[in-house]
Structure formats: C-alpha cells, structure tokens
Amino acid sequence: MILTVTLNPSLDSIYFTETFVLGEMNRCGNPVKAVGGKGINAGRTAAILGAKVTAIGVLAGINGDFIRSALNKEPFFATHFLSISGESRNAVTVMDQEKNQTEIVELGPEITADTAEKVLNLVIDLSKKQKKEPILALCGSANTENDHLYQHYLEQLGGISKVLTDISGKQLKNILNSPVKPYFIKPNIHEFAELLHTTIKNKNDVIAHLTQPLIKDIPFVLVSCGSEGAIAKYKDRIFDVSIPAIDAINPTGSGDATVGGIAFALDQGFSIEETLRYGMACGMSNALEQAVGFVSTDNVEQLKKRIILRDV
Ligand code: ADP
C-alpha cells in the first residue's frame, strides 16, 4: 500500500504558446486543465504502474470542488480529502515553442494546526490498518506558519510507515535535522543547492556534496537533474544515473512521477537498481505526455531499458 499526502493540491492550467513575451498580450489556445499537487501526481503514477494507492489531503472552495469531482472520476486510486476553508490554489504554466516554461503558482489555503492534526490522524488510521508497513509519500508545499509541520508528521509516522518526502525549503531542512529520519528524499538539483546553501552546477558538484552531514544519515537520496538524469545515494553507494535524450513535451510533474515510480518499486520490494530505473523512466514518461503527473506503462517499460547506472 502506498499513501500520499498533498496539503496543497492545485488546479493546473497549462498554456502552450508560440511565444511568451513579458509585458505584452500573449494569445494562446485553450489550456490543458488538470488536477495537480505533488502527492496526487506521485500517487497516480504509482497506481498506473499497478500499486494500491490512497491519496490523502485537503481541498477548499470552488477549486476544491472541481478537484474533488475530477479525482472521483479517476479510476486509479482511492482518495481521502478533507474539506477546509479558503480556496485550493490555481497553478498556471505557460510553455512556449522553445520549451521555456513560466509558472505562476498561488499560495493555497492555510493549513491550520487543527487541519494538520486531522490529516495526521487520518494517515495514522490508514497506516495502522495495513498488514505490511505502508510507503508514505509526503509531497509538496503547505501554506502554514509551522515550519516543523512535516517534521512533526515524520516523528509521528516514521515508526509505522516508510516515509518518502518530496519537499523543499525550511520544511526539508527541519526534517533532515529531526531525530527521526525520512527513508528517502528527492530534491532536484536546485533544491539541493538551496538546502546546502551552495552553488551546484552539475552532477560532479552533486556527488561532491553527498557526504554533507545534513544528509549522511538518510538511506536514500535522489538528486534529480532534469534531462541529465540523477545522482543517487543509497546507503554507502552512489550512482550516476544517465537517461537517453527524449523529445520532451511537458516536463511539469516529472519529479512527482519520479517519486511515484520510486514508491511503486519500493512497495514491490525491487532492487535499488530497478527502483532507480522505475523512478527515471516515470519522470521521462511524464515528460513525454502533455498531461501532468501521468505515465504510460508501455513507455515506462521501454525507457527503463535505456537507463544507465554507473557506480561512482
Ligand atoms: P522536478 O520536476 O522535481 O524539478 P526534475 O526536473 O529533475 O525534477 O525531473 C525528474 C526526473 O524526470 C529526471 O530525473 C528525469 O528522469 C525526468 N525528466 C525531467 N525532465 C526531463 C527532460 N526534459 N527530458 C528527459 N527526462 C526528464
């Protein structure tokens, strides 16, 4: 069983334009509309691959109603979303013909202490019902004044689930400083640089920083590097993960799909090599779709064969 938590789902609109010029009128066709949120996307990916998934989170206002009805129509996973006050956020992406991507992302409804506890209790209940330790993916931002929210979740949930996180900023730093460690983190290369307050330009820089005290006790660290693949640290091994060049259509959500692929493979008990292949193939398969947080099982199977792992 895989559980995902999304405290800030979004209503995504993706506009494909010929050009996008700041300060000018930019005309475009109708957007691709989709339900977004890192945990939802990761959960959908894992479910498409065949995992049993429950997506948990919060929804608010008219956007929340829209998201809820869209999720109800999805055949892939079960959902438990609490209604809260405010408005679930809009996230707008503009992609021009040169694949420049511009995003406008709202803050989202506030996660109060009460809401945070309700979600936590829901996850605890669902986790305890499972026969086998569930995989729990805590994903994405939360509009909260509590910078230790995810740390609190980790401390409460780490003993009953295998916790994967795809978060950034202060929330990430605080879980890394927590006495209870997550099993897996997936910063992208920019988030990794921000985390370590340093400049990281390429994979060699990533490798050089993998021994930093902040991350040395995390069993599985995946620093994703977009079209360059990723660098992974698993226990005492480091992998340079190379991926083939593809003609990406929309890489939005590729990191989420990567987390979904990793969650699926861990839930299946696959080897670290196979797990990394699933993560990368899912990120790439997502990039080959216009839809966000969506993968094709055929593409994943084909792409997996083209991923090269090198022990560093
Ligand atoms: P995030 O979406 O979290 O910023 P990345 O951009 O690093 O994460 O993407 C995650 C993974 O998705 C990459 O490691 C890679 O496997 C795949 N991916 C992302 N963008 C591309 C791309 N343009 N071409 C091929 N694969 C991509």
Residue 312 is predicted with a pLDDT of 95
Residue 238 is predicted with a pLDDT of 97
Query: How many A from CA of 126 to the centre of ligand 1?
Result: 31
Whether pTM exceeds 0.80: yes
Residue with CA nearest ligand 1 atom 2:
255
By CB atoms closer than 10 A (0-12, 13-18, 19+), residue 177 is: exposed
Residue 250 is predicted with a pLDDT of 85
Query: How many A from CA of 192 to the centre of ligand 1?
Result: 14
Residue 301 is predicted with a pLDDT of 98
Residue 99 is predicted with a pLDDT of 79
Pocket test for ligand 1, best of 227, 278, 280, 302 (most atoms within 8 A of CB): 227
Query: How many A from CA of 119 to the centre of ligand 1?
Result: 29
Share of the chain above pLDDT 90, in %: 90
Residue 252 is predicted with a pLDDT of 86
Pocket test for ligand 1, best of 203, 206, 224, 302 (most atoms within 8 A of CB): 224
Residue with CA nearest ligand 1 atom 3:
255
Residue 32 is predicted with a pLDDT of 84
Residue 43 is predicted with a pLDDT of 97
Query: How many A from CA of 116 to the centre of ligand 1?
Result: 30
Residue 290 is predicted with a pLDDT of 84
User: Residue ranges of the chain with pLDDT lower than 70?
Assistant: none
CA separation for the pair 39, 2 (Å, rounded) = 11
Residue 37 is predicted with a pLDDT of 93
Ligand 1, residues at Cβ distance < 6 Å:
188, 224-227, 229-230, 243, 246, 248, 251, 254-255, 258, 280, 283-284, 287
Compute CA 85 distance to the chain's CA centroid, rounded to the nearest angstrom: 24
CA separation for the pair 133, 135 (Å, rounded) = 7
Query: How many A from CA of 226 to the centre of ligand 1?
Result: 3
Query: How many A from CA of 102 to the centre of ligand 1?
Result: 16
Residue 286 is predicted with a pLDDT of 97
Query: How many A from CA of 187 to the centre of ligand 1?
Result: 11
Strand ranges (E), the chain = 2-6, 10-16, 32-36, 53-60, 78-84, 89-95, 101-105, 135-139, 162-166, 184-185, 220-224, 230-234, 237-242, 308-311
126: which residues sit within 8 A by CB, 6+ positions away?
3, 54, 56, 80, 134
CA distances from 89 to 65, 72, 161 (A): 12, 19, 29
Residue with CA nearest ligand 1 atom 21:
227
50: which residues sit within 8 A by CB, 6+ positions away?
264
Question: How does pLDDT run across 123-179, given as a tens digit for each residue?
Answer: 999 999 999 999 999 999 999 999 999 999 999 998 899 999 999 999 999 999 999
Q: How many CB atoms lie within 10 A of CB 156?
A: 17
Pocket test for ligand 1, best of 41, 258, 289 (most atoms within 8 A of CB): 258
Which atom of ligand 1 is closest in space to residue 186's alpha carbon?
3
